[in-house]
Structure formats: structure tokens, C-alpha cells
Amino acid sequence: LIFFQLKSLLFVIIPKKRWSQLAFAEFFLTSEMCNAERDTKRAAAYKVEKMVENALLTHEGHFTKKHDVGGRQKSRSNALLNFQGAADHRERTIGVFPIFRKIADGSIFYEDGVWIHSRLYAMNVIQWVVTLFYILVSIVLPTIVTDHQFLEEIEKYIKVSEGQLIAGSICGGIAAVLTSGGLATIWLPSSISTIQKFRCGAIESLYNKDFQRYRVAPDLTTLLYGATFFGAWTSSFCIYLLVGGLIFLLSWEIFQPILLELLALLVGFLIPLIVKMLFLIFVRKRLFDGFFRSRPAGGNLLLLIFECWALGLTVLSILIRLVKLALVAVFYVGRIDTPLFAPGAGSIFCIQLDTFPIQFEKDLLLHDAHRHPYMERLGVMYMMKIRYGKNFANRAGSTWRLVFTLALMPWLQRYRLHDKITSDNEEEAKQIAQKPTDQDQIDTQKLMTYVKELEKIVGEDKKTRLRNEMNISSSCLSEEKDQREKKDDEEIKSKEQTESSQKASR
């Protein structure tokens, strides 16, 4: 608070002409919120410009082989064909370090329009605090275990040496620091990647039936800060115990005979495994060709032999899989930004086993719903409409913009119609599917909606005249229905006559 008061005082005392000459003027004159709002507006302009540029490139056939179709609607047809051909065009995503470069130069803000809110920064800072804690532990703990009183207390229970404890504490501390540092490093890139996945549709949003779970209980996002701290601390502590304990056991004198037996078993297991791999490298090319067997007899015999062999060796494979999954689960305790379970596998009787990734994605959606560049541009248009009324975005201008948009991007009309049919709500989809298909019922429904709109516009005193017009129109529709039925009867009779003539000729 004192800093902001001093900032305001300096702004009053120093003349405005001198502010432009100061190197730190931008820092004092603008806040981080103002800079972020500015970048969001720049991102909206950049995205619209990029959209128009990509549309022009699609017309030119830049992303695919250019089509040339004649006719009255040559430009529109060519654009639709080029757009269909460019459906598989993709941009390569960037990794962790390129995202940090984009954060450093600011392009992630004024081009991609990503809003990194203060809670994400705070959670990342607390992860680096955990990393600093384990760095101090890995430095201080070896000095503690070398204390003679500490060694005397431990030797009352087990016989250990000073070197074993130092090796275990140092290796465990290094592993814990790498774990917590890795969690802190990938935090911001993972958050930005999740936002971009929601925007491009890699993670389904509005058309996903499970999207409603993000729109309820926004207060649960307050659990993320504490979960980030204790998750990083617990994950690093478990890695510390696993690695430090393993190094301690490997250097312990009592465990060395058992270690030699395990090493002998491992060597005895690896030798036939290596021989098997070399044998398969030579045999697979001769017996198999992709999904097919070039030599069925030899392929069947080989598969039978290895099935019998694997019946006994699969026990060790399952134990190895158990250890790998346990290690992955320990690491992912601190990664609340990524779900551990596959979609559909993390729930039991509609109860989610891991809800923190859902709350994390909910927190990103809460902020992106307010800070998306397109939402910002749409909000500006609404505010301008409220401010200037009929003088802004009138009917003629909207019609011209619609014509311009459909001429530049004619594929939008197709997707707008498709969006009307597609719905993530099953009940709504069933209602759409159960609509009457007869032409007379459809025309009647359209006529009724049209009459209701006219009644609102004209007034209640002219309802009777409009209903009379509706009755006249419905009688016209009934006449059209009779004519269609007559045509259908004539077509059926003509088909029956042709079939009877064909039978007679045979």
C-alpha cells in the first residue's frame, strides 16, 4: 500500500514531460493488470488478422492443392474445396522451453492471448519454495547424520556406518530436489497447454456431456493452493525415502548377500532375454509381414512356443509393471494439473477418485471465460452498442458484415448449420430427432411461429385478421398436400404398370 502511495506521489510531483524521458516510466505509470489488459486486446486484433490471413491463403490453395472449378460460384466453390483439403493441416505444438521463451518475450500474451492469473503464479512460487526446502535438507542432513551422538543412537538398533547414511541422504536429497524442481518447471507450460487444448478443441468443452461438472461449485478451486504445496512436498518426500532407502540397502553389509543373490537372478534372467530378442530380430522378418504371417506354419509354431515360455515369466513382468505404476503414482501425487487416470477409468459408481485435475481445469476455465481475446472483443462490441445505440452496428452494417464474412469464409455457413443440429444434450437431440418430417406439418409450424411474431409486432387488436390469414394459408397447404398425394398415387400406378409389362414380356 505504501508503494502505491509513493508511486502516485511521484506521478504528481514529476512533470509529465519528464516521465517519457525516464527508463522506468512504464513501470510506474502502468500496473500489471493494465499491461495484461493491453496484451489481451492486442491478442484479439492479432487473432482476427490471422484468421483473415488464413482465409485468404485458403482461397489461394496455400495449405493444399489448389482447385479450379468453373461456374457462377467459382470463388466460393474453390474456397470450399480448398478448405476441405486443408482439414488435415496442423501446426506443430511447442515444448516446455519454447513456452518459457514465449513468456519471456511476451508473445504468449499479445499473440496467443493467454492470461496467467495470480493464483497460477502463487502456486508456482510455492513449488519453488518446496524445491528450496529440499535443497537445504540435502545440504544440512548429511551434517546431522555424521554427528556421533546420532550414530550412537542408531547403532543401538541396527549396525550402520557413517558413509551409508551420508550416501543415502545425499542421493535421496538430489532425487527430491529433481522431483520438486521438475514439478515447478512444468507447472506453467502445462497450464498454458491445457488452456490451448480447450481453445482448439483437443479437450472437448461445450459438446461434451461431462462439461457441466466444470460449471458447478466454483468455490472448490480454493483447494488448489494447498494441494499444490502439500502435493509437491509429499511427492518429493516419497521419492526421497525410496531413493535414499534403496541406496542405503545397497550399501548395507547385512543386505549384501541378498543383493548378490538378486544380482545373480537378474543376470540369469537377462541372458536368455537378450538371446530371445536377437533371435526374434532375425525370425520376425521371415515369418511375419505386418499383421499377416508370410509363413503360417512357422509363425503358429513360434507363437505357441513363446506362449508356453511366457506363462512362467509373466510373473516378473507383472511385478515390474507394479513397481513402475507405483513410481508414476508417487510422482503424480504432486501433479494436480494432469489427470492420472484415463478418461472413464477414474470413477467408481459416479464417484471421482481424483478430483484435483478437474478443479485445476475449472480454475483455468473460470479465468479464460473472462479473459479470452474473443470474449474481450465481443464485450467491447456490446459496450459500444449500449453506448451509441442505433448509431453503432445497425441492420445494414450487420448485413454487410455477414455478406463479407460468408464471402471470405463460406465454410462458416456450413458449420453454423451443423452446430444447430449437433447438441451435447441427449434429451434435446432426441427432441430434434423426433420432429415431424411431413412437409405439411413443418409448414404449419413455421406459419404458427411467423404469426406469433407478427402478433407481437402489430398488436393484439389485429389477431383475428392474422388468424384468418393463417386459415387461408393452411387451406392452401392442404391443397398442396392433396396435389402431392395425387402425384404419389400416379407414380405408384405407373410403377405397377411397368412391372406388369415387364412380367408379361418375360
Model confidence pLDDT, tens digit, residues 371-412: 888 888 888 888 888 888 888 888 778 778 878 887 888 777
pLDDT at 462 > cutoff 60: no
361/258: higher pLDDT = 361
Is pLDDT of 8 > 60?
yes
Rounded percentage of the chain residues whose pLDDT exceeds 70: 72
- In this prediction, residue 13 carries a pLDDT of 73
Provide DSSP, 173-191. Answer: HHHHHHHHHHHHHTHHHHH
| Predicted local confidence at residue 474, as pLDDT | 53
Asked if the model's pLDDT at residue 192 lies above 60, the reply is yes
Q: Mean pLDDT lowest for which of 44-53, 378-387, 464-473?
A: 464-473
Higher pLDDT, 483 or 130: 130
Alpha carbon dihedral 383, 385, 388, 389, in 10-degree steps, equals -140
CB neighbour class for 396 (10 Å; exposed up to 12, middle 13-18, buried from 19): exposed
The pLDDT of 251-271, averaged and rounded, is: 81
373 or 18, which is more confident: 373
pLDDT band at residue 308 under the 50/70/90 scheme? confident
* Structure confidence at residue 62 (pLDDT): 72
Say yes or no to pLDDT of 128 above 90: yes
Q: Which three cell numbers stand for residue 278?
A: 536377437
Q: Which three cell numbers stand for residue 152?
A: 550412537
Q: How does residue 30 score in pLDDT terms, banded at 50, 70 and 90?
A: low
Higher pLDDT, 278 or 499: 278
CB neighbour burial string for 337-365, b if at least 16 within 10 angstroms, e if fewer: bebbeeeeebeeeeeeeebbbbbbbbbbb
List all residues 6 or more positions away from 142 whose beta carbon is below 8 Å from its beta carbon.
165, 166, 169, 170
At residue 54, does pLDDT exceed 90? no
> What pLDDT score was predicted for residue 439?
47
Band of residue 445 on the pLDDT scale cut at 50, 70, 90: low
Distance CA 432, CA 247 (A): 65
pLDDT of 178 over the 90 cut:
yes
Indicate whether this model's pTM tops 0.85. no
pLDDT at residue number 151: 66
pLDDT-derived band of residue 74, with 50, 70 and 90 as boundaries?
A: low
16, 29 in Cβ contact below 8 A? no
Segment 211-227 shows an average pLDDT of 86
- Number of H-type helices and E-type strands within the chain: 21, 4
Is the pLDDT at 493 greater than 60, yes or no? yes
Query: How would residue 29 be classed by pLDDT, with cut points 50, 70 and 90?
Result: low
Q: With bands split at pLDDT 50, 70 and 90, how would you rate the model's confidence at 484?
A: low
| pLDDT for the residue numbered 236 | 92
CA 26 to chain centre: 35
Averaged confidence pLDDT in the chain = 77
Query: Which pLDDT value is given to residue 422?
Result: 45
* Choice between 163 and 364, residue whose per-residue pLDDT is larger: 364
Name the H helices within 146-223: 148-155, 162-185, 187-200
The grid coordinates listed for 413 are 455457413
- The helix (run of H) or strand (run of E) holding residue 400 is helix 395-408
- CB atoms inside a 10 Å sphere around CB 248: 18
